Amino acid sequence: MARTFALVAAAAAFFGHAQSQCTAAPSQTYDYIVIGSGAGGLVIADKLSESGASVLLLEKGPLSSGKWNGTMKASWLQNTNLTRFDVPGLFNQIWVDSAGVACDDTGVMAGCVLGGGVAVNSALYWKPHSSDWDVNFPTGWKSTDMQKHVDNVFQRIPSNYIPSKDGKLYLQQGFDRVTKGLDTAGFKYVVANDAPNEKNRTYAHATFYIQNGERHGPLRSYLETAMARPKFNLWVNTGARRVVRTGGHITGVELECKNNAGRSGTVNVTPGTGRVIVSAGTMGSAKLLFRSGIGPTDQLNVVKSSPIDGSTMISQDQWINLPVGNNLNDHVGTDIQISHPDIVFYDFYGAWGSPIKADTDAYLQKRSGILAQVAPNLGPIFWTAHNGSDGITRHIQWQARIEGRTKTAMTITQYLGMGTTSRGRADITPQLNMRVATNPYLRTTQDKEAVIAGLDYVRSALNNVQGLTWITPTSSQTTTAFVNSIPATPASRGSNHWTGTCTIGSDDGRTGGKAVVDLDTKVYGTDNLFVVDASIFPGMTTGNPSGAIFAVAERAAERILALKAPAPKLIRGATRDM
């Protein structure tokens, strides 16, 4: 399963500092306005600004990392430059206290702070398997096209499987016991990002974007280079309500001031040549398009009937009918639990309010020790691959952590990813919240076959471990009965790896195709509106997706910069394709 969390209705009280107030957007225009500062947005905003263009990055959430003046921290971090987002041992805090951090309008867990998902996630970080591109993506986005972007991403954001600065791995009993069973079953140890295509019967240490014992990633690379450029601008606490457009030509973005601390009004792109990039995440980008009159008619009618947007929504004759929200996907999560007397639990939850002094000292003074490791002590990670009766190969990533029903328990999540054929749908409610309307999990027989086959295989492998006992499934339960006992819902199977609502492809969704954006990531039926984030992924990745999303954003920047600017004259009311 998916770890549960409480949705917070409003974060305003938390951030409504007395001196803060909303300010009106200036009349200055920008060559590019990027909406959302997550995995996709941070990377593309930097790449666009590198070209010399003026770039405005809009983020609806507050600051996060201490590097950028974030303030949310455990008391032992007072008087340091660190926040909860920087210290790997505190990443679990998202499951304890998500107020003002998690999005309040997505229905499922997502980060709504500077950095989006890459500020709150577990920082697990993989070079994509070539099938992640070759099976899922269209022409121009195959592994041969993507290799240079992946290389560039991993140069700017190195991966690391020994997060502690002293070069040691801490509390490895779980890793050691489980991998004994895998070794006996014939699995091979790999350094995962040295062998991205070895994803069948292999295992590795959990691998992260952690450097110097702190969360690294695009907040500490792409955003740093962008911030150093005079024509780059970041507005936090500033949401985009919708794009302002005439037909397919976007002139600006209408703003929603958040936490009583951002900008309001409308900000415009450079007349004629300016562009808007939507990087608001799988739920957020779909929502932004719906509110801008782009999507299936049933969803646009919900917005049209809503008290919030109805009376000011773009008129129906300007709507662009595209399958936004369809093709929703996520890794299918199935949790198993084992126990072994040698396993040592560490109380990462306690590290927030009542930490062990020796551990905080080691971390603060040397960026070393258990708190440099991501909570709750992740690893090993291993992979299996399964050929389906439909001829399709499916990849499974297995992700272990030291947490469960007892102090000697480990939870291992089976993620079924690359190759899945089940898809769901996201929609919008009358309150303008996003929602998973159709669950994407196990809708096809072959997806379920792969989950069962994978689990059978790993059960027999782990039975090689001396002293191991099964918590779930119980040793007498059949794998099929166990898999069937877990509901196919986000609460039970969600992996927080949502993709697909604004799929990329050459099959134009206005005329029956599945694609919302073309091969340049431009929204069909528009001149100058693009979507660049996890929402454009046609299918699921083998591993946790952020590495692939960074590479996609690099690729998109290259293609967008190479595109001829839209014609400077605005054709009133017309929809043009270029």
Ligand X SMILES: *[C@@H]1O[C@H](CO)[C@@H](O)[C@H](O)[C@H]1NC(C)=O
Contact positions toward ligand X, by CB under 6 A?
65-69, 81-82, 86, 200-201, 212, 214, 234, 385, 387, 393
66/281 with CB nearer ligand X? 66
36/213 with CB nearer ligand FAD? 36
The Cβ of residue 301 has, within 10 Å, a number of other Cβ atoms equal to 14
Q: Shortest Cβ distance from residue 364 to ligand X (Å)?
A: 10
β-bridge pairing 214-215 and 275-278 = unpaired
Dist CA 151 CA 127 (whole Å): 9
- Among 108-116, 140-148, 328-336, 517-525, the segment contacting ligand FAD (CB under 6 A): 108-116
Spatial strand order of the sheet with 188-189 comes to 188-189, 202-204, 378-387, 393-401, 409-416, 332-339, 469-472
387 binds, among ligand FAD, ligand X, none (CB under 5 to 8 A by kind): ligand X
Can you state the percent helix, strand and coil of the chain, rounding each to 5?
30, 20, 50
Q: Shortest Cβ distance from residue 40 to ligand FAD (Å)?
A: 3
465/552 with CB nearer ligand FAD? 552
Q: Shortest Cβ distance from residue 536 to ligand X (Å)?
A: 26
Q: Shortest Cβ distance from residue 238 to ligand FAD (Å)?
A: 7
Task: State how far the alpha carbon of 233 is from the alpha carbons of 53, 55, 57, 229, in Å.
Answer: 11, 6, 6, 9
Place of tokens 């309008």: 105
409 binds, among ligand FAD, ligand X, none (CB under 5 to 8 A by kind): none
273/393 with CB nearer ligand X? 393
Amino acid present at 488 = A
Q: Shortest Cβ distance from residue 385 to ligand X (Å)?
A: 4
The answer to whether 458 is a known ligand-binding residue is no
| 24, two tokens | 């009106």
393 binds, among ligand FAD, ligand X, none (CB under 5 to 8 A by kind): ligand X
Active site residue 395: no
Residue 167: CA atoms inside 13 Å, Cβ hemisphere, count? 0
| 222, two tokens | 């792409």
Candidates 66, 100, 107, 117; binder of ligand FAD (CB under 6 A) is: 117
Q: Shortest Cβ distance from residue 223 to ligand X (Å)?
A: 9
249 binds, among ligand X, ligand FAD, none (CB under 5 to 8 A by kind): none
Q: Shortest Cβ distance from residue 301 to ligand FAD (Å)?
A: 20
- Identify which of 446, 464, 454 has the alpha carbon closest to the alpha carbon of residue 392: 446
Candidates 92, 93, 121, 503; binder of ligand FAD (CB under 6 A) is: 121
Site for ligand FAD in 50-89 (CB under 6 A): 58-61
> Is position 160 an interface residue for ligand FAD (rule: CB under 6 A)?
no
The Cβ of residue 298 has, within 10 Å, a number of other Cβ atoms equal to 10
83/535 with CB nearer ligand X? 83
Residues near 89 by beta carbon (within 8 Å), at least 6 away in sequence: 348, 351, 359, 363, 370, 371, 372, 373, 374, 375
Site for ligand FAD in 28-47 (CB under 6 A): 35-41
Candidates 254, 335, 527, 533; binder of ligand FAD (CB under 6 A) is: 533
Residues near 517 by beta carbon (within 8 Å), at least 6 away in sequence: 502, 503, 504, 505, 523, 524, 530, 531, 536
Task: State how far the alpha carbon of 214 is from the alpha carbons of 96, 100, 164, 235, 547, in Å.
Answer: 20, 22, 9, 24, 18
Rg (CA), the chain: 23
Query: By CB neighbour count within 10 A (0-12 exposed, 13-18 middle, 19+ buried), where does 307 fall?
Result: exposed
Site for ligand FAD in 377-406 (CB under 6 A): none
Is the distance from CB of 90 to CB of 348 less than 8 angstroms?
yes
> Is position 150 an interface residue for ligand FAD (rule: CB under 6 A)?
no
Interface pattern 271-290 for ligand FAD (x via CB under 6 A): --------xxxx-x---x--
Is the distance from CB of 214 to CB of 17 less than 8 angstroms?
no
Binding site: which residues?
113
Which residues are part of the catalytic machinery? Answer: 497
Binding site for FAD: which residues?
113
Residues forming contacts to ligand FAD in the complex (CB under 6 A) are 35-41, 58-61, 94, 109-112, 116-118, 120-124, 239-240, 279-282, 284, 288, 496-497, 533-534, 544-546, 549
